[in-house]
């Protein structure tokens, strides 16, 4: 009898366990479907992930420098491969800490400024470029003055604007400088105002740049005149310190209307948000819906469905006991927030969130005290990756894309799921640091459907989508995105020059006309020439054109210029996108035609 009773108890316990397990599985499935799913990776980040940039090989550049440790003189960076879980570390030659980073049009990562000294912090004038093909950093031209906590913004021609940061003497750098690959830095352009550190800046579709915080006064930089003007002040009267800012998705349906949304910030932090439409005749900030928690040291990350994942931070700065563990999803279509579940680990100062090519978001770092950082990596899998029963959703597949597309051109995306696709988006890979992603951008593309193919129209110019590599996602009618394919977006312009040949005596001058034509070249196109013989100089008038146009190249030989025939190569450079034309210079006696002699 005892054995039978024990067997019944065991069966009842087993049945209860099965029912509880089924209930828990059902709850987890419902949660994944509604809110997404959070997981913690089984390996650690071995260096402090203060700066991150997604590269076009799918790997992530991590830059720590001294890692917020004044005693550390072994400055480090690393490359993380989320697919294999490997992290390759390397030393760097100077302290790339509290700098800015963006990705250049050619796919190399541009590191701008950094830390010259701790306590007080002083800014580095140095800059470096990381090449994902070689895995090496190469220093490039120095700025006029140092910058610690600057913001870098990629402009429509692929050049990089840097602003703010502490100088090498500890004062806020109030000038703008613009870097162009191969040409170095522009002169300094005085701003006439003192910006906040790490200003929240975005390139607008008209080619200008907005500084949307964290201070209340919004400013616009005119990239043609190199001057600033005030636009509007936020409704929140305080400084949104370590809050975030996002340029909401751009698309052809509304003429690429630029709307910027700012989130949280302040100490104690606010949960408020605000939105401004910068295409309005008189732009004004208007309150958006509040987040579920106040946040300082937060992150805001664009997703391929157009929503914004808002996460991390705390109610009081660098206070883990007030950590904001709720993740929120903002929907620009409905102007509402919904829950994205909760992450596990407090993410405070020096935390970052980054969209990965598989549509998940990596959440790394937290460094509220010098010398100690959070090494665990969390991954958020959005609800669009799950079916109603919690199983993995079937994703649309891309079987072929071109490696590069030009502005305004039509290109094909091969997919067996063409009939089910509801949107095609190009997303500029992220580069977050200090509660702000300096590079992320989402541009919707128009398209038509064919048999197993989408005929997609590329963005019209670089102000809409600065030149460089983009994550191309196709999203089906259920809201499920594909795994991204990397596509390079470039300008399409051509350079011609006439006459094809010109003859001069030593000491004489001649001229050629170089003409830039085509579509897609945005902003300044500069000119240079190579192949000049010794004793010869060349000048361009004008020295540059805006988008398209002509310049006169005046070539002056010297009395000692050797006789001979020389091939000159004229180069037109649109922010790293170049075209070339060749002409011939003959230095020697003019050959006069003889009548009747052929």
Sorting pLDDT into bands at 50, 70 and 90, what band is 31? confident
In this prediction, residues 32-43 reach a mean pLDDT of 94
User: Rounded mean pLDDT of the chain?
Assistant: 93
425 close to 304: Cβ distance less than 8 angstroms: yes
Please indicate, yes or no, if residue 393 is contained in any of the structural domains. no
Q: Does this model's pTM top 0.75? A: yes
Same domain, 361 and 419: no
Sorting pLDDT into bands at 50, 70 and 90, what band is 237? very high
Same domain, 465 and 499: no
Residue 518, pLDDT above cutoff 80: no
Same domain, 485 and 552: no
Same domain, 58 and 92: yes
Query: Which pLDDT score is estimated for 539?
Result: 97
Please indicate, yes or no, if residue 293 is contained in any of the structural domains. yes
For residue 278, give both structure tokens.
């910068």
Please indicate, yes or no, if residue 330 is contained in any of the structural domains. yes
Same domain, 556 and 531: yes
Find the range with the poorest average confidence among 114-128, 266-280, 583-597. Answer: 583-597
Find the range with the poorest average confidence among 68-72, 279-283, 304-308, 570-574. Answer: 570-574
CATH at residue 471: 2.60.40.10
In the chain, % helix, strand, coil (3-state, to 5) comes to: 10, 45, 45
Sorting pLDDT into bands at 50, 70 and 90, what band is 182? confident
Query: Which pLDDT score is estimated for 559?
Result: 95
In this prediction, residues 220-232 reach a mean pLDDT of 97
Distance of CA 287 to the CA centre of its chain: 26
Please indicate, yes or no, if residue 480 is contained in any of the structural domains. yes
Give the C-alpha separation, 585 to 531, whole Å: 10
CATH at residue 91: 2.130.10.80
Question: Which range of residues forms the domain containing residue 37?
Answer: 28-385
Please indicate, yes or no, if residue 212 is contained in any of the structural domains. yes
Residue 3, pLDDT above cutoff 50: no
Q: How far is CA 473 from CA 8, 54, 331, 443, in A?
A: 55, 15, 18, 11
Same domain, 416 and 519: no
In this prediction, residues 99-108 reach a mean pLDDT of 97
CATH at residue 546: 2.60.40.2310
pLDDT digits over 109-148, tens only?
Answer: 999 999 999 999 999 999 999 999 999 999 999 999 999 9
Query: Which pLDDT score is estimated for 411?
Result: 97
Residue 513, pLDDT above cutoff 60: yes
Structural domains of the chain, count: 3
Sorting pLDDT into bands at 50, 70 and 90, what band is 547? confident
Same domain, 485 and 471: yes
Query: Which pLDDT score is estimated for 397?
Result: 98
Category of 60 on φ-ψ map: left (φ > 0), alpha (ψ -120 to 50) or beta: beta
Please indicate, yes or no, if residue 10 is contained in any of the structural domains. no
Sorting pLDDT into bands at 50, 70 and 90, what band is 597? low
The three state secondary structure string of 270-288 is CCCEEEEECCCCCCCEEEC
Residue 161, pLDDT above cutoff 90: yes
Query: Which pLDDT score is estimated for 27?
Result: 52
Smallest Cα–Cα separation from 438: which of 164, 189, 184, 183?
Answer: 164
Please indicate, yes or no, if residue 139 is contained in any of the structural domains. yes
Query: Which pLDDT score is estimated for 590?
Result: 67
Same domain, 550 and 479: no
Same domain, 50 and 183: yes
Sorting pLDDT into bands at 50, 70 and 90, what band is 8? low
Same domain, 456 and 323: no
Q: How far is CA 443 from CA 99, 254, 433, 454, in A?
A: 27, 12, 22, 16
Give the up-direction half-sphere exposure of residue 12: CA atoms within 13 A in the CB hemisphere: 6
Portion of the chain with pLDDT greater than 70, in percent: 92
Query: Which pLDDT score is estimated for 519?
Result: 58
Please indicate, yes or no, if residue 397 is contained in any of the structural domains. no
Smallest Cα–Cα separation from 577: which of 541, 523, 500?
Answer: 523
Same domain, 109 and 139: yes
pLDDT digits over 57-100, tens only?
Answer: 999 999 999 999 999 999 999 999 999 999 999 999 999 999 99
- Domain stop point among 319, 354, 385: 385
Smallest Cα–Cα separation from 483: which of 578, 586, 413, 565?
Answer: 413
Smallest Cα–Cα separation from 420: which of 483, 365, 475?
Answer: 475
Same domain, 61 and 187: yes
Residue 4, pLDDT above cutoff 70: no
In this prediction, residues 246-271 reach a mean pLDDT of 98
Portion of the chain with pLDDT greater than 90, in percent: 87
Give the C-alpha separation, 335 to 340, whole Å: 16
């Amino acid at each position: 009898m005892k054995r039978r009773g024990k067997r019944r108890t065991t069966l009842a316990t087993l049945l209860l366990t099965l029912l509880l397990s089924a209930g828990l599985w059902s709850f987890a499935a419902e949660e994944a479907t509604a809110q997404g799913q959070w997981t913690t990776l089984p390996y650690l980040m071995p260096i402090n992930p203060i700066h991150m940039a997604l590269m076009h090989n799918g790997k992530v550049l991590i830059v720590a420098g001294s890692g917020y440790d004044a005693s550390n003189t072994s400055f480090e960076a690393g490359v993380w491969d989320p697919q294999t879980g490997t992290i390759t570390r390397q030393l760097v030659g100077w302290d790339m800490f509290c700098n800015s980073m963006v990705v250049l049009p050619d796919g190399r990562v541009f590191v701008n400024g950094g830390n010259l000294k701790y306590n007080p912090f002083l800014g580095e004038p140095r800059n470096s470029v990381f090449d994902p093909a070689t895995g090496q950093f190469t220093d490039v031209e120095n700025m006029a003055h140092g910058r610690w906590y600057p913001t870098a913004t990629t402009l429509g021609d692929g050049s990089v604007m840097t602003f703010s940061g502490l100088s090498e003497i500890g004062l806020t750098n109030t000038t703008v400088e613009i870097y162009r690959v191969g040409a170095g830095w522009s002169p300094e352009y005085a701003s006439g105002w003192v910006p906040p550190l790490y200003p929240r800046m975005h390139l607008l579709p008209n080619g200008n740049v907005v500084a949307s915080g964290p201070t209340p006064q919004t400013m616009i930089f005119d990239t043609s005149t190199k001057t600033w003007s005030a636009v509007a002040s936020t409704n929140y009267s305080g400084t949104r310190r370590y809050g975030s800012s996002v340029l909401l998705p751009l698309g052809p349906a509304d003429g690429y209307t630029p709307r910027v949304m700012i989130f949280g910030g302040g100490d104690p932090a606010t949960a408020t948000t605000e939105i401004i439409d910068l295409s309005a005749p008189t732009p004004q900030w208007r309150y958006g819906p509040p987040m579920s928690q106040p946040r300082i040291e937060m992150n805001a990350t664009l997703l391929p469905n157009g929503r914004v994942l808002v996460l991390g931070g705390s109610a009081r700065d660098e206070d883990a006991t007030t950590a904001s563990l709720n993740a929120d999803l903002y929907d620009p279509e409905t102007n509402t927030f919904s829950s994205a579940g909760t992450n596990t680990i407090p993410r405070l100062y020096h935390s970052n969130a980054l969209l990965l090519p598989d549509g998940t978001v990596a959440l790394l770092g937290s460094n509220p005290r010098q010398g100690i950082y959070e090494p665990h990596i969390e991954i958020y899998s959005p609800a669009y990756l799950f079916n109603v029963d919690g199983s993995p959703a079937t994703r649309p597949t891309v079987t072929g894309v071109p490696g590069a597309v030009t502005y305004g051109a039509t290109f094909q995306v091969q997919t067996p799921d063409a009939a089910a696709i509801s949107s095609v988006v190009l997303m500029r890979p992220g580069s977050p640091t200090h509660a702000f992603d300096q590079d992320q951008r989402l541009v919707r593309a128009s398209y038509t459907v064919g048999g197993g193919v989408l005929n997609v129209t590329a963005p019209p110019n670089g102000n809409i989508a600065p030149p460089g590599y983009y994550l191309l996602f196709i999203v089906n009618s259920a809201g499920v995105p594909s795994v991204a394919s990397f596509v390079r977006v470039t300008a399409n312009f051509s350079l011609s020059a006439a006459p094809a040949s010109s003859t001069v005596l030593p000491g004489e001058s001649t001229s050629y006309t170089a003409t830039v034509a085509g579509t897609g070249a945005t902003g300044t196109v500069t000119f240079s020439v190579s192949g000049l013989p010794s004793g010869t100089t060349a000048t361009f008038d004008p020295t540059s054109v805006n988008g398209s146009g002509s310049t006169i190249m005046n070539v002056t030989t010297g009395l000692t210029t050797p006789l001979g025939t020389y091939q000159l190569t004229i180069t037109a450079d649109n922010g790293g996108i170049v075209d070339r034309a060749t002409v011939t210079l003959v230095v020697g006696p003019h050959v006069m035609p003889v009548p009747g002699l052929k």
